[in-house]
Amino acid sequence: MVDLQSQYKKLQPEIDKAILDVVGSAAFINGPEVKSFQSDLEKYLNVKHVIPCANGTDALQIAMMGLGLEQGDEVITADFTFAATVEVIAILKLTPVLVDVEMDTFNMDIEALKKAITPKTKAIVPVHLFGQCANMEAVLKVAKEHNLYVIEDTAQAIGADYTFRDGTSKKAGTIGNVGTTSFFPSKNLGCYGDGGAIFTNDDDLAHIIRGMVNHGMYKRYYHDVVGVNSRLDSIQAAVLRLKLPHLDEYCDARRTAAEYYNKGFSNSDNIITPITSDFSTHVFHQYTLKLKNINRNALHQHLLDKNIPNAIYYPVPLHLQKAYTDSRYKEENFKVTNELIETVISLPMHTELDNEQQNFIINTILDFIK
């Protein structure tokens, strides 16, 4: 699905040197590379505070801890996302409330969000799925009306731009109270191991979170708040620092590849290509088709037989996962996710795709559905 080796080769001399420099310095934890990456990312995102941490799942958990959410508080998120989003809600003994998504963008459905609000609701976690922002203007409006926190799961959309109706724009992850991301190798800005970060413009929240990622310490061996051990290590920061200046170019390469796929499938009525909403750019973490009158599972297998990587994101909606069943969920409230899990298929999407590879993928699919 991704080609991390070719991407690495283009930056190999710089990256090899940066990694060896960290090894030589032995500043593995909280070394200067971490601070430098943090401030480079703050500039790129135009956000006051970036707090690096160990992975995107921790980032979500720590953001919720930092906001002081407590047992029994309800947190609303999308039914159609990677499980990490809901997992941390459950781990913290908060109550996850899953809502349906929009058929065209795969993102949280705002009407479903409104219906899910109760007096116990404390936070909304919009997930910017597959690389484009959820309808943040509408999410913020709902949050304001009900006095709720907004935590943006930006693991799949770092670099995307959100434009408000007044024409101003912000980077994905810097719009709500707090945003989180992942630097997992296959994410749009990936390191060579695990990594993550939390973003906020709130000075007090940033201070709390900075202690929380490091055992709740502000001064060594003085533990003011309950924390965790979740740090971005210096080697990963060194890699990310070299890749960050290429992030916009990586996003462009993904968009170009997506347009090429779109053109390739434009004459097929039974293949619905991804749409880009007018308020967000799309950074195509995934390129996901919806199929009509086509046996999706047979196509999935056929592509695998032809050595074409492809994946079903996601095969089971969260409300039907064993770990997250809840007797309050009603199937009629999940019409869209229940349909998506049967019809979506994601194709290879990365920065190194070339037209020849894409032609092969497109033609193999078109031949199959003829």
Ligand X SMILES: *Cc1c(COP(=O)(O)O)cnc(C)c1O
Report the b/e string of 91-118 with b at 16+ CB within 10 A: ebebbbbbbbbbeebbbbbbebbeebbe
CB 284 within 8 A of CB 275: no
Residue 77 makes contact with ligand X by CB under 6 A = no
Distance CA 5, CA 31 (A): 26
Angle between helices 247-264 and 355-369 (to 10 degrees): 30
Contacts of residue 270, defined as CB under 8 A and 6 or more positions apart, other chains included, come to 291, 292, 293, 294, 369
Looking at the Cβ atoms of 22 and 54, the one nearer to ligand X is 54
In the complex, minimum distance from the CB of residue 58 to ligand X, in angstroms, rounded to a whole number: 7
Residue 156 makes contact with ligand X by CB under 6 A = yes
Q: Which among 88, 110, 91 is positioned nearest to 101, based on CA atoms?
A: 110
Looking at the Cβ atoms of 45 and 84, the one nearer to ligand X is 84
Residue 132 makes contact with ligand X by CB under 6 A = no
CB 6 within 8 A of CB 348: no
Looking at the Cβ atoms of 180 and 214, the one nearer to ligand X is 180
Looking at the Cβ atoms of 38 and 156, the one nearer to ligand X is 156
CB 336 within 8 A of CB 99: no
Paired strand residues for 178: 151
Residue 153 makes contact with ligand X by CB under 6 A = yes
Q: Which among 14, 2, 29 is positioned nearest to 234, based on CA atoms?
A: 29
In the complex, minimum distance from the CB of residue 183 to ligand X, in angstroms, rounded to a whole number: 7
CB 107 within 8 A of CB 138: no
Site string for ligand X, 52-71 (x = CB under 6 A): ---xxx--------------
Contacts of residue 279, defined as CB under 8 A and 6 or more positions apart, other chains included, come to 133, 135, 136, 137, 162, 163, 164, 165
CA-based angle 77:82:87, to the nearest 5? 65
Looking at the Cβ atoms of 60 and 271, the one nearer to ligand X is 60
- Site for ligand X, residues 17 to 56, rule: CB under 6 A: 55-56
- Amino acid occupying residue 210: R
In the complex, minimum distance from the CB of residue 20 to ligand X, in angstroms, rounded to a whole number: 25
Q: How many residues bind ligand X (CB under 6 A)?
A: 15
Q: Which among 174, 130, 119, 120 is positioned nearest to 152, based on CA atoms?
A: 174
- Which one of 14-22, 81-89, 205-213, 238-246 is the stretch in contact with ligand X (CB under 6 A)? 81-89
Looking at the Cβ atoms of 243 and 271, the one nearer to ligand X is 243
Looking at the Cβ atoms of 149 and 313, the one nearer to ligand X is 313
Residue 105 makes contact with ligand X by CB under 6 A = no
In the complex, minimum distance from the CB of residue 364 to ligand X, in angstroms, rounded to a whole number: 27
Residue 85 makes contact with ligand X by CB under 6 A = yes
Joined tokens for residue 89: 């809600």
E strands present in 165-235 = 169-171, 178-182, 196-200, 217-219, 222-223
Residue 81 makes contact with ligand X by CB under 6 A = yes
Nearest residue to the partner ligand X, using Cβ? 56
In the complex, minimum distance from the CB of residue 221 to ligand X, in angstroms, rounded to a whole number: 28
**In 173-330, which ranges are continuous DSSP H helix?**
203-212, 234-243, 247-264, 296-305
- Site for ligand X, residues 316 to 345, rule: CB under 6 A: none
In the complex, minimum distance from the CB of residue 224 to ligand X, in angstroms, rounded to a whole number: 26
Q: Which among 39, 116, 70, 114 is positioned nearest to 226, based on CA atoms?
A: 70
- Site for ligand X, residues 112 to 131, rule: CB under 6 A: 127
Query: Which of residues 51, 76, 78, 82 is near ligand X by CB under 6 A?
Result: 82
- Which one of 148-156, 229-237, 241-249, 359-367 is the stretch in contact with ligand X (CB under 6 A)? 148-156
- Site for ligand X, residues 158 to 197, rule: CB under 6 A: 182, 184, 194, 196
Looking at the Cβ atoms of 254 and 264, the one nearer to ligand X is 254
Residue 230 makes contact with ligand X by CB under 6 A = no
Residues binding ligand X (CB under 6 A): 55-57, 81-82, 84-85, 127, 153, 155-156, 182, 184, 194, 196
